[in-house]
Structure 1
Amino acid sequence: MTPALLCFAFAFLMQIDANFINDYFDYLKGSDREDRLGPERACAQGWITLNAMRKGIALTTATACLAGLCLLAYGGIEMIPVGILCVLFAFLYTAGPYPLAYHGWGDILV
């Protein structure tokens, strides 16, 4: 696979992962409810169970990391911190004790 396709795969999977994580944690925090304005969310609408969403998050995170590991052959070991930060900020956007999205840092850091 070419480096460009690997980069695309990593970015694509991380975007999906970030969306899953956001859907999951916004629902847990009560930010996404069935009556929210805007696009419907899978967890809030009951389209997917929380357990299935956790499995989806684990699968997309692992698959993105696999694509990232393949990129090391082209970008070198220096890319490891970049990959770690991508995964970390995908979670920190709405998860944890200080969710970035709720404090004005989401768009800057993610």
Structure 2
Amino acid sequence: MNEKTKAYLAALSFSAIIGFSFLFTKIALGYASPLTNLAHRYTIAALVMVVFHQTKLIKVSLSRKDILSILPMSLFYPLFFLFFNPLLYSIYRLLKLEFYRLLSRFLRSF
């Protein structure tokens, strides 16, 4: 497998993981709070990475320059997710409540 094919597979895998994460998050929010779901998500991700590193399935060699270039995204992505996930969950619940309130008013008008 050449490098171009590996790059396309990596991009496709990344897109699938990110895309399905919202679906799984929506399902999981029916069972636990947003912060509990995030705690489980990051714990599982850390355990998978430790297993991959210990079994030598991945090789990690990062220079100081690499770490400094990755650091902003590694800090801001979880912070944005921690901020927007509960916010969107709250908006979803409010819209759902408002929908049922409007539906009950509509049905009472008949």
TM-score (normalizing by structure 1): 0.36
Larger Rg: 2
TM-score (normalizing by structure 2): 0.36
Select the structure with the greater relative contact order (CA < 8 A; seq sep ≥ 6).
1
